[in-house]
Amino acid sequence: MGWRPGKVVTGMLVVFALMQFYQPKQGAGEPEAQPHSIDAVFKVPGQVAGILERSCYNCHSNTTDYPWYSYVQPLGWWLEGHISEGKEELNFSTFATYSKRRQASKLESVAGQVKKGSMPPESYALVHKEARLTKEEVQALTQWVQSLQDSLSVE
Amino acid sequence: MLAISLLTISCGKKENIDTESAAEGQARELSAAPEGTAVGQDSTGVEGTSSDANPAGPTASFSTKGIIGAYLKLQDALARDDAKGAAGAGKMLVNELTKIDAKTVEDKKRTDYLDIAADAKEHAEHISHNASDIAHQREHMALLSKDMSDLVTAFGSENKLYQAHCPMYNEGKGAIWLSAGKDIRNPYYGEEMLTCGSIKKEF
């Protein structure tokens, strides 16, 4: 007997195959049933809605568009972890359930993160080139947030 | 036992009202746990009545002292450009907020308190998790300070507090902070512009 690389590879393949049996529950909801989404409390103009959907909603809403590799484990587990973290932080699908104070806080953070370029995260934008925001889009988003803040009248 | 010793320890300290209330809150939690596990024992009845007997209402013991104390430490750390210290103070603030039993807040104001506390806790958590990103800590500081101002407006403070304003922060949108003294020590710019800002209000 001795060192048999073939066995190791086979073993790894078996583990990999077994991993596929555990598919995490993906949190995608039906896009049509969103009674508590941000649209329920604020006007979201078309351009902004487009930006949010394209660049934010995959991790910050219940309408995640899961890519094919999310079904390949352990990639899918890792992805799901990130998504649930993102939604816990900010979920546009449940935005209307936040208190006014929290809504104002979240909006301020949205503008701050987008302005700084921290969102969407670089690692995400690397793979999802379509998520990247142009200068004009950043401006459209921050101006929208500003207009909402004025309407929220929290200073 | 544990609960009793906790109470006596806290009574020995010179901080009075709020520590006691916090200890009471903890005592209740602690006594709740063995209650669940010690099924069928006589003590369950006793424990039950003792926690029921806790006055859930009138003014009893809610105080903003612990929260404000942690916040002022945070304010000081940021003014010193000390991100690690700020993270530590943020953690303290989270603990203070967790410690408070909302039942001790008077009924009429409880919703307000919970609203402020939930938001403040979130900001404090972010600050505590970003020990290497002071700019991000400061963003949350600006929002947290609004919460603190509302908290003190609604519930008062044991010590004198001032509200200062920095007109420059956030691209000229400005930001406030609370301070124990009249001297300006700007938490948003630190050393870079330590004395930028002015006192706008006294609590």
Residue A3 covered by a domain: no
Residue A19 covered by a domain: no
Residue A115 covered by a domain: yes
pTM metric for this prediction: 0.74
**Chain B residues with CB inside 8 Å of A118's CB?**
136
Q: Do A99 and B139 touch (CB under 8 A)?
A: no
Domain segments of chain B as ranges = 2-51, 65-202
Residue A71 covered by a domain: yes
Q: What is the dotted CATH code of the domain comprising B65-202? A: 1.20.120
Residues in chain A: 155
A155 in contact with B, Cβ within 8 Å? yes
* CA–CA min distance A108, chain B (Å): 8
Amino acid type, B173: K
Residue A17 covered by a domain: no
The DSSP secondary-structure symbol of B56 reads -
Domain with A72, as residue range(s), is 24-152
**Chain A residues with CB inside 8 Å of B123's CB?**
105
**Structural domain count, chain A:** 1
A7 CB-near residues (< 8 Å, 6+ apart): none
Task: For residue B137, give both structure tokens.
Answer: 């800590």
Q: Nearest residue of B to residue A108 by CA position?
A: B143
Q: pLDDT for A17-53, tens place per residue?
A: 888 887 777 765 555 567 899 988 899 999 999 999 9
* CA–CA min distance A154, chain B (Å): 9
Q: pLDDT for B126-172, tens place per residue?
A: 999 999 999 999 999 999 999 999 999 999 999 999 999 999 998 88
Residue A70 covered by a domain: yes
A23 in contact with B, Cβ within 8 Å? no
Q: Do B143 and A108 touch (CB under 8 A)?
A: yes
Q: pLDDT for A46-93, tens place per residue?
A: 999 999 999 999 999 998 888 888 888 888 888 888 899 999 999 999
